Amino acid sequence: MTDYTPVEMMTVAASRVLSSTDVCFAGVGPPSEACNLARVLHAPDITLIYESGTIGARPCVLPLSVGDGELCETALNTVSVAEMFRYWLQGGNISIGFLGAAQIDRFGNINTTVIGDYRKPRVRLPGGGGAPEIAGSCDQVYIIVRQSTRGFVETLDFVTTYGHGKGGSSRQDVGFSTAGPTLLFTDLGIWAPDPETRELTVVSMHAGVSRDQMAATVGWPIRYADHVEETPIPSGKELEMLRDLHARTCAAHQIHK
Amino acid sequence: MTRVAVISLDEAIAEYVFDGATVAFEGFSHLIPFAAAHETIRQRRKNLTLVRMTPDLIYDQMIGMGCAQRLVFSYAGNPGVGLLRRLRDAVENSWPNAVEICEHSHAALANAYVAAASGLPLMIFRGYRGVDLPRFNPEIGKVSCPFSGEELAAVRAINPDVTIIHAQRADRSGNVLVEGIIGMQKEAVLAARHAIVTVEEIVDDLAAHANACVLPHWILDALCVVPGGAHPSYAQGYYRRDNAAYREWDSIAADRHRFQEWMNENVLEQDHTVFASRAIASREGHD
């Protein structure tokens, strides 16, 4: 099957790395979408955790907010937000934090706070929410975001969520013992940190994507792995399940596209 | 301890929410006390410090109506829709007035409530490493573990003058049951000097299991029966989230004039009894 969008490719690629043994803290939007696609495709026993306190949520439709009733109704258990952040997250019980981003830099640091100066912002974004501590306390972090020159910037306007800092050993130097961002999924490819410099490096490009396209959507000179793979295109089953999930979600939330 | 007073919502707001107060209207996407916020707007309260993890539409409305002087929060979006346009207008353009912001992460603000609920001046946690927010928020500090030397983040306790929450039901003694996504309601109530709870209904028996989230009557000050009082958010077991209202808000809040007209028509010219029919309409819209 070849009829798919770059965003569908992004979601499918992200879903493939998740498995039934993962305990995954899912941000709402594209991260939650990839996690639930994995759950209905090949990871039926994945534990999905949302910051509203729901543990083991199995939503039939994608949540519009982290606090949707669907998450609580399908979860194994729902705890308070304080318990979620203190015991389950900070206590070291979550293997993957799956985040989105407004701005990201080459070391996987994320800005979701402001565009411009913090005290006099050009655009006031929502802020950190759970992300700063999710990125600190989960064993590793996956990020999913579409590439654009506005989003993939040389220098962040604000560091909301720490990734690999300025690269090298910076993450350990500021006191983290967790791995931080290990995979970045975009509409054009898959990135992973270089083992030494920790700079995000392109390890796979989606079918039909050129290096010119990559360069035109990223605000820094891109580094490529020695062997850049081509991401396998979505299977018929993957696309069918993703589109079913979308159709159910739109019907439930009365969204008319 | 005195027994909670079952009074009308307008009486409760008049008695406990004063100009300049620090008020937490809590409820994490669920059970957001919109009716109480609308009553506060109608009573023209000013210079409030508004505390809430997710300001949501409820604080977008209060900020746009000039109730807020300061905002303490940890995620300022319209969930699933986008940004909060009245909040942005206040922060970016000081309209209708400048609003000072005190911004946290979720973990930090949750810990600030836990500190206050625990009777402590601060809470420590593993967070804020390497990021920019501590440079702008003096309520964030650092401490060294006296045993290991590990550097940890500290956050000052938040003790609201009043916390206001919405819950499913109370019994005839005024004990309150909160079910579903319970967010920070218990901590925010225990952190505050006074607590107002609006409920869907009063029942003979709460039917709460031994570990349920129950707030005993003697830690509450005012109990108000306001069916539908969380609309357009939801009350699990009673009515669902009105997602259409959340989406529609984006265009209402995008324009100052349209916002004011909407607030006149739907808040200033109404009273809290209108919420029951809104929740019914929301329920039927989803069935």
What percent of chain A lies above the pLDDT cut of 90? 91
Per DSSP, chain A holds a count of helices (H) and strands (E) of: 8, 14
For the segment B103-155, what is each residue's pLDDT rounded down to a tens digit?
999 999 999 999 999 999 999 999 999 999 999 999 999 999 999 999 999 99
Q: Considering CB atoms only, which of A126, A133, A165 is closest to B76?
A: A126
A257 touches chain B (CB under 8 A): no
Torsion of CA A116, A118, A119, A125, to 10 degrees: 80
Q: Considering CB atoms only, which of B73, B74, B129 is closest to A176?
A: B129
Complex ipTM value: 0.96
Cα–Cα distance measured from residue B57 to residue B121, given in angstroms and rounded to the nearest whole number: 30
DSSP states of B162-183:
EEEEEEEEEETT--EEE-SS-T
Mean predicted confidence (pLDDT) in A156-165: 98
Q: Which helix (H) or strand (E) holds B259?
A: helix B256-263
Cα–Cα distance measured from residue A82 to residue A84, given in angstroms and rounded to the nearest whole number: 5
* Contact (Cβ atoms closer than 8 angstroms) between residue A83 and residue A93: no
The two structure tokens encoding residue A146: 């579409």
3-state secondary structure of B50: strand
Residue B3 has pLDDT above 80, yes or no: no
Q: Which residues of chain A make contact with B79, given a CB cutoff of 8 A? A: 28, 64-67
Q: What is the pLDDT of residue B52?
A: 98
Closest CA to B98 of B126, B69, B130: B69
Which of A49, A62, A65 is most worth mutating to test chain B (most B CB atoms within 10 A of its CB)? A65
Q: Which residue has the higher pLDDT, A254 or B100?
A: B100
* Contact (Cβ atoms closer than 8 angstroms) between residue B70 and residue B98: no
Inter-CA distances, B32 with A67, B27, B91, Å: 11, 5, 23
Q: Which of A178-187, A244-253, B272-281 has the highest mean predicted lDDT (pLDDT)?
A: A178-187
Phi and psi based region of residue B207 (left: phi greater than 0; alpha: psi -120 to 50; beta: remaining): left
- Upper half-sphere CA count for residue B216 (Cβ side, 13 Å): 4
> How far does the CA of residue A12 sit from the closest CA of chain B (Å)?
21
- CB contact under 8 Å between A73 and B236, yes or no, is yes
The two structure tokens encoding residue A109: 């640091």
Residue B139 one-letter amino acid:
E
CB atoms within 10 A of CB A235: 12
Closest CA to A132 of B153, B70, B260, B119: B153
For the segment B32-88, what is each residue's pLDDT rounded down to a tens digit?
999 999 999 999 999 999 999 999 999 999 999 999 999 999 999 998 888 899 999
Cα–Cα distance measured from residue B151 to residue B130, given in angstroms and rounded to the nearest whole number: 12
Rounded to the nearest 10 degrees, what angle do helices B34-42 and B9-16 cross at? 70
Q: Which residues of chain B make contact with A82, given a CB cutoff of 8 A? A: 110-111, 113-114, 184, 187
Q: Which residues of chain A make contact with B133, given a CB cutoff of 8 A? A: 113, 128, 132, 160
* Contact (Cβ atoms closer than 8 angstroms) between residue A54 and residue A72: yes
Quick one: pLDDT band at residue B171, thresholds 50, 70, 90?
Answer: very high
Q: Which residues of chain A make contact with B125, given a CB cutoff of 8 A? A: 85-86, 90, 133
For the segment A69-78, what is each residue's pLDDT rounded down to a tens digit?
999 999 999 9
Q: Which residue of B has its CA nearest to A71?
A: B181
Q: What is the pLDDT of residue B286?
A: 46
Q: What is the pLDDT of residue B287?
A: 38
Active-site residue, A73 included: no
Residue B159 has pLDDT above 60, yes or no: yes
* Contact (Cβ atoms closer than 8 angstroms) between residue B175 and residue B3: no
* CB environment B178-196: b (16+ within 10 A), e (fewer): bbbbbbbbbbbbbbbebbb
Domains and CATH numbers, chain B: 5-104+159-286 (3.40.1080.10), 106-156 (no CATH)
Residue B240 has pLDDT above 60, yes or no: yes
Q: How far is CA A14 from the centre of its chain?
A: 8
Domains and CATH numbers, chain A: 6-252 (3.40.1080.10)
